[in-house]
Amino acid sequence: MREVLLALSVFLACTVEAVEALTIVLAIGTTRGWRSARYGIATAVVSLAAVVAILGPALTAIPIDVLRLVVGGLLLIFGLQWLRKAILRAGGFRPLHDEASIYDREVTAAGRADVAGGRFVPDWYAFTLCFKGVLLEGLEVCFIVVTFGANQHDVSLAVVGAVVAVVLVTGAGFLVHRPLTRVPENTLKLVVGVMLTSFGTFWGAEGAGVRWPGSDTALPAVIAAVAVVATGLIAVLRRERDRRRRPVASVA
């Protein structure tokens, strides 16, 4: 059960990050040309692979209880950040993430930038934007892959989930040559926030010496509890938003 939820969490998180990176890459590639964009993507992918190759084995050498405590704490912090933003978006107190508008903004900026390059990289602007976009979004993927995989002593399972997500999103994006605006990214971020927070709570408690009733079978209950709390907070925020929008009755 834990392995299935782990792979699902990695897949969903990587799908979100891949969609965001794809928006930047498509905007730059279609506007400035693909040669320098491909160089930037390739350089970022090699850098990310090195991060996973170095950190993965290093983390698996840490004693399991210490690893669970550290990884659980990090995932809890990381997950709560995702969850907070997703709850505020769903509750109407933060704008929804819009890939179409981001794409248009990147296209406009890319069209205005000067072309300057060298022998191997014809366009440094395209190279830098694609490298930065893939690297920054990819670092979050690497964090999730390494922490999830190391805690289960099975980095390969987490890597498979990440690769499948990236391949599917990249293939779909280049097939339609547009950002994947129909992907329910805001909903996915809420789900991923719930999953990361739940895993962080579960593993952190295990590392601190807590023995969950039923062992791994308690994990779905933790996920359900976090989801219920998140749903309740969204409902509260929506009521508050509606209350603020109601016109104040004038006093005669």
Would you state the pLDDT for residue 252? 46
Q: 3-class DSSP state for residue 218?
A: helix
Would you state the pLDDT for residue 136? 87
| Residue range(s) defining the domain that contains residue 201 | 2-244
- Whether 250 shows a pLDDT value over 60: the answer reads no
Q: Mind listing the pLDDT tens digit for each residue in 2-18?
A: 677 777 888 888 888 88
249 domain-assigned: no
d(CA 181, CA 30): 17
Q: Mind listing the pLDDT tens digit for each residue in 132-176?
A: 989 988 888 888 888 777 776 667 777 888 888 888 888 887 776
143 domain-assigned: yes
Q: For the chain, percent helix, then strand, then coil, each to nearest 5? A: 80, 0, 20
252 domain-assigned: no
Would you state the pLDDT for residue 1? 63
Q: Report the percent of the chain where pLDDT is more than 70.
A: 88
Number of domains in the chain: 1
Query: Which one is predicted more confidently, 21 or 68?
Result: 21
The mean of the pLDDT values for the chain is 82
Using CA of residue 127, residue 99, residue 195, residue 164, what is the dihedral sign? Answer: negative
Average pLDDT over residues 31-42: 88
Is residue 14 a contact partner of residue 167, using CB atoms and an 8 Å limit? no
Would you state the pLDDT for residue 231? 94
251 domain-assigned: no
Average pLDDT over residues 227-251: 83
Would you state the pLDDT for residue 42? 92
Would you state the pLDDT for residue 31? 87
d(CA 169, CA 172): 5
Q: Mind listing the pLDDT tens digit for each residue in 171-229?
A: 887 776 666 666 677 888 888 889 889 988 988 888 888 888 887 788 889 999 999 99
d(CA 163, CA 151): 19
Global pTM reads 0.75
Query: Which one is predicted more confidently, 175 or 92?
Result: 92
177 domain-assigned: yes
Would you state the pLDDT for residue 121? 83
Would you state the pLDDT for residue 181? 63
193 domain-assigned: yes
Is residue 245 a contact partner of residue 26, using CB atoms and an 8 Å limit? no
- Whether 246 shows a pLDDT value over 80: the answer reads no
